[in-house]
A and B are shown apart, each in its own frame.
Chain A
Amino acid sequence: MTRFAPPLLGLLIALIAAPFALGQSELPWRLRDEPRITRAELEEFLEEQELEASDAAIILRSAHEDLLAEYADLARERAAERAHVQQLQNEWYAANPPQPGIPRMQPRFSDPVFDQALRDRRARIERDFDETVLALLPESQFPAWQRIVNARKRTHTLEELRMTVPDPSVGNPYLDLFQIVEDANLASEDSAIAAPLLDQYGAAMAAAIDDLLAREDALNTVIVQNQFADLAEAQSPEGKAKNQRRQAAVIELIALRNAIVAVNDRFRPQIESALSPAGLRKFQRAIKQQMFPSIYLADPVELAVDGLREWSGLPTNLRSEMEVIWEDYEAQREAILDRLIDAHQRWEAPGNADVRREYDQKISEIMRARQEGRPIDDIEPEETPPFTFEPLQQRHELAMTTLRRLSGLFSADQRATLPAHVRLCLDLVNPS
């Protein structure tokens, strides 16, 4: 796999922008104001280790309550700070309206000292909790605890890194092979083969993540502190020195992230070569799903079939007919999705830059013509669509054709009795 170079400040921008763009549950962990290990996970651990009725469990639960209270405090402070930053931003935009030809450079509104204090406090309360746990557990249970901590760190860090991937056609390189194995729903023999490799992978990934986490805050601080105040500063000697410091920090950050991708590159082929052909197919499908989530979206056929499978009112004969339709669909869909990935990659490939540029120019021309009220008919015939157009159209057509087949299994009266969410899918081809 090619090394993935994140864009300058990608993660930082994603993290700063995230609170305003996403719901709480969609935020990366470090902005979610919840402990790394949730109460449910703690309970699960205590149960697995048969500690749920022990004295240690009472102290651990109480320590976790304290942790939750600390996070609630952090959440309140963060909300007040966010409101303050938002207001400062509004003021700045109102005082600096856009003017043609004059570039605007927005200052940083959030307080770096406050942000750092929040991060330090968070790290401290997590560390305190971890120390409490380790002080109470017998040494024999340390590895089990460490596995949970590593797993949560892995999920949270990879989640955050995924937000920095600028172009979906590149594919997400920050794979979580544990999640992929789970999604692949492997047969028990394949799962058994994968398990020891996953253990080694977990340890290697934890080390790479620890390296990143140990340096990330400091590097991000260097990047932020060396931003230019304005364009004049950018061109001054001090600006150039700042730029060098910033570049050095970015390069180090990229190297640390690439080390995470390298762990995946090392273990993925090892797992692949150990699996049976059927297991390999499932594993590779799950990899594609995680690499290209915007292409492997749940579609209306899949949603309708899942809904019908769960519906107890579906007669047996229709159930088997539905499965035949599904199998037929699934095979054709896979081929189209592969073509779609290929089309994305061909369209975004460096060698296609001229075609892309020409296309962009054509689009600008059309937009200008529209704004000026000129006819666009002359422009239209020469236009080249992105390569994704055809497979997208095929994906849509296949889904609609299959929905018609599924819908044809039921009379209009029967359709009215289907669960509302199944009807919602089938109604795409039954316009009222």
Chain B
Amino acid sequence: MAQVYGAETAISWAVFSDFIEAADLTSTEGGIARHLYEEHVAALRAGEETATRLRHWLYSHTSSISQSIVAREFVSQVHAELSATEGRWRESSRKLVSDFFADLRAALPEQPEAIDRFERADRRQRLMVPGRLSRDGPYTGAAFDVIAFARQHLDQELNDPEIRETLDRYELEVDGLLRRFEERNTTPSRRRELMTEAQARVQAGEDATRLIREIADYMGEPGYLMVLLFRANEAASLRIASLLEDEELRERFRLEPRKRLLAWMYESVATDAYLERALRSNTLTESQRASLEGLRAEAERLKASREPQLELLHKKAMTDDAYEEYYIRAVRQGLGLEEGGQRLNDTSIELYAGRDELVAKMNDILARARQIMGEESPANSNPGSQQPGGGR
């Protein structure tokens, strides 16, 4: 079912089960917690379903007449209802989550710490996923829950006091940032209000500098929070790597932040996918297989050689001081005070040029692989073709 962007999903059963296990509840307490949890899930699902159905019903009024001038007023009224309903559901769903935790605290007064941890785990689980926290651009490394990763890959090591302390500190730091991110997301209409105010000032010929800066801060803050999240993730993961004895695990924790940061490079690109598929073919001759394996090794070497430079550029693009200037320029353009022009800061331009160069070389490998397979390429070598959507 389609989700209203920014609205909450129900607290996951896995996170809830972890809480039940960690809190060591009596059977009565467990029963109360489960009852509250089931009520919460039912309420959230009913709300989600209703929000989706309302959206379909409201849209159905405008789909066949949206261009009609006679219907203009009616169509804008329905659009306003749609937008208000989505805003209400965003707020309402968040309240259902906070009400659940408030009810749980009231029902289990002996468990404040376990419930705090549960709430933090829930926030990470809901927010630290690609698509929720960071949809694209240079922020992909923010959606990396180091605690979940550690639980997945570590066992006895989790009892190491230094690792535990690292994770505890990380948990609190990240939660502070995620809370701020949530608060910022609950008031999406604030930017519109500020923009309307700024427009009125500009139209009246008054100075709007202070408002422009405020709007730019407002627009830039989620990005800035994601930079801080990435830094917290990277620091915790590297710290854990330094505390591990097993070489393979150490490498895993050392490399993971970079892998998340350069997700586009690690996700399936055409060359990798093609080579993998071609190598699975049953009809390959030995010489074809050897050539394709050679190309696969070449692609791996190529990516490995570019990685450090791209990683540095990514980090610089994220934290570039120009970002504030970028948003101020965007707001000024929105207010008609400045012509539209360059949309990216210089580091981002360098980053995307670096990506394009790598992609062009990967495309060349793809073309050679197709030749080996006796196929013609549907598209000639074309920089950018393997590049996933990106940019601010």
CB-CB under 8 A for A431 and B84, given A388-B65, A389-B71: yes
**Which residue of A has the minimal Cβ distance to B382?**
A95
CB-CB under 8 A for A303 and B69, given A90-B385, A420-B46: no
Task: Tell me the chain B residues, 51-70 only, with Cβ under 8 Å from chain A.
Answer: 51, 53-54, 56-57, 60-61, 64-65, 67-70
Q: How far is the CB of B185 from chain A (nearest CB, A)?
A: 18
Interface string of A388-427 (1 = CB under 8 A from B): 1100110110000000000000000000000111011101
On whether the beta carbons of B68 and A386 are closer than 8 Å, the reply is yes
B148 within 8 A of partner (CB):
no
- Chain B residues in 8 Å Cβ range of A92: 378-379
B35 within 8 A of partner (CB):
no
- The 14 listed contacts between A and B (C-beta, < 8 Å) are A23-B2, A84-B277, A87-B386, A91-B386, A92-B379, A94-B382, A297-B57, A385-B65, A385-B71, A389-B65, A420-B43, A424-B54, A427-B84, A427-B88
A383 within 8 A of partner (CB):
yes
A42 within 8 A of partner (CB):
no
A146 within 8 A of partner (CB):
no
On whether the beta carbons of B61 and A392 are closer than 8 Å, the reply is yes
On whether the beta carbons of B54 and A425 are closer than 8 Å, the reply is yes
Which residues of A are at the interface with B, using a C-beta cutoff of 8 A? 23, 80-81, 83-84, 87-88, 90-92, 94-96, 107, 109, 294-295, 297-300, 303, 307, 344, 363, 366-367, 376, 379-380, 383-386, 388-389, 392-393, 395-396, 419-421, 423-425, 427-428, 431-432
**Which residue of B has the minimal Cβ distance to A423?**
B92
Which of B64, B84, B89, B382 is the one whose CB lies under 8 Å from A91?
B382
On whether the beta carbons of B385 and A396 are closer than 8 Å, the reply is no
- Chain A residues in 8 Å Cβ range of B92: 420, 423-424
Interface string of B361-382 (1 = CB under 8 A from A): 0010000000000000011101
Q: How far is the CB of B180 from chain A (nearest CB, A)?
A: 24
B354 within 8 A of partner (CB):
no
On whether the beta carbons of A300 and B273 are closer than 8 Å, the reply is no
- Chain A residues in 8 Å Cβ range of B54: 300, 303, 424-425, 428
On whether the beta carbons of B88 and A383 are closer than 8 Å, the reply is no
CA A247 to CA B50, docked complex, whole Å: 45
Extra pairs beyond A344-B64, A423-B92 (20, CB < 8 Å)? A23-B2, A84-B273, A84-B277, A87-B268, A87-B273, A90-B386, A91-B270, A95-B379, A95-B382, A107-B378, A297-B56, A297-B57, A298-B56, A303-B54, A385-B68, A388-B64, A392-B60, A393-B61, A427-B88, A432-B88
**Which residue of A has the minimal Cβ distance to B269?**
A87
How many B residues face the partner with a CB closer than 8 A? 47
- Chain B residues in 8 Å Cβ range of A96: 379
**Which residue of B has the minimal Cβ distance to A26?**
B1
**Which residue of A has the minimal Cβ distance to B81?**
A428
B384 within 8 A of partner (CB):
yes
Which of A80, A344, A395 is the one whose CB lies under 8 Å from B276?
A80
**Which residue of A has the minimal Cβ distance to B64?**
A388
- Chain A residues in 8 Å Cβ range of B69: 366, 376, 379-380, 383
CA A328 to CA B107, docked complex, whole Å: 43
- Chain A residues in 8 Å Cβ range of B269: 87
- Chain B residues in 8 Å Cβ range of A107: 378
CA A302 to CA B133, docked complex, whole Å: 35
CA A421 to CA B47, docked complex, whole Å: 4
Q: How far is the CB of B256 from chain A (nearest CB, A)?
A: 22
